[in-house]
Structure 1
């Protein structure tokens, strides 16, 4: 049965950047081999096949759209451009703060790589710490990146199941 909008699917996947670096996977063995499981302090139970309904935009648009017409058991490599993934990097989402103001808001000294959660529900990462400014990028960490997914369709179920 060819996958159509509204069908449920279960997939196994490996997500890579264009240079081949793996950023996400449903397969524990792959995560363990590439240091993801250790970096995220995650065991085998944290890696499992992904199930969702095609067309509901439960996953990024480029992956969702690329599954239409595929079949159970099919394997594919799907390249998703930024506009169909997490969008382009938006310069207005990169903000600068006075170091004292930043420390008062966050409660700790800034460090490059620090993840912050703002009161307006934005999440960001400190990308630079200078004597007079702290730079925080509130773009999604995958914004501006082309993503390549190796996908295996494990199961397909109908619209009414």
Structure 2
């Protein structure tokens, strides 16, 4: 009889442990910390409310918090959030895509570009970076290797979907 009682006690404790770990109450209290893999939905806007990107209609954005998979401002913004929580954050250029760098604007001969290229076209350089053709005048083209959001303050509406 003692063995059966002990088996029931072990089983009961195991059941309590499972319920605690899977309980919605426990999950609600969990907050994002560095190293967590999370999913968010977001809308990214400029200060004039122009939307430059959003996850609506797509899978949530998944990343590991604290890594370079995402801009530093987003890593900072999600820390301490709970699943289902939403917030709006403003990120200065240093927290996003960095300041605009005039040294990344340069000229090359137009003949070195594909024939259909025109002002506003985007090209990929030999290292996988996107370069924008700012202007073409005569035989010279001005290219800009800055990220299109460099130097801009960004506003993100974020909703934490999951912590894995």
Aligning the two structures, in what range does the TM-score lie when normalised by the shorter sequence?
0.7 to 0.9
For 1:61, the equivalent position in structure 2 comes to 72
For 1:146, the equivalent position in structure 2 comes to 153
1:2 alignment partner, one of 12, 15, 31: 31
Q: Which has the larger radius of gyration?
A: 2
With normalisation by structure 2, the TM-score equals 0.76
Superposed counterparts of 1:12-31, under 5 Å:
12-28=41-57
Gaps of 5+ in 2: 1-29
Assess, with a 3 A threshold, how the Cα gap between structure 1 residues 69 and 120 changes in structure 2: closer, same or farther.
closer
Could you tell me how far 1:110 is from its partner in structure 2?
4.0
2:141 alignment partner, one of 128, 131, 134: 134
Gaps of 5+ in 1: 29-46
Could you tell me how far 1:78 is from its partner in structure 2?
1.1
Instruction: Pick 1 or 2: higher relative contact order, CA cutoff 8 A, min separation 6.
Output: 1
Superposed counterparts of 1:31-46, under 5 Å:
none
With normalisation by structure 1, the TM-score equals 0.78
Secondary structure of the equivalent of 2:103? helix
* Number of residue-to-residue matches in the alignment: 135
Tell me if the contact between 1:110 and 1:134 (Cα under 8 Å) persists in the aligned partners. no
Could you tell me how far 1:69 is from its partner in structure 2?
1.0
Computed over aligned residues only, the root mean square deviation of the Cα atoms, in angstroms, reads 1.5
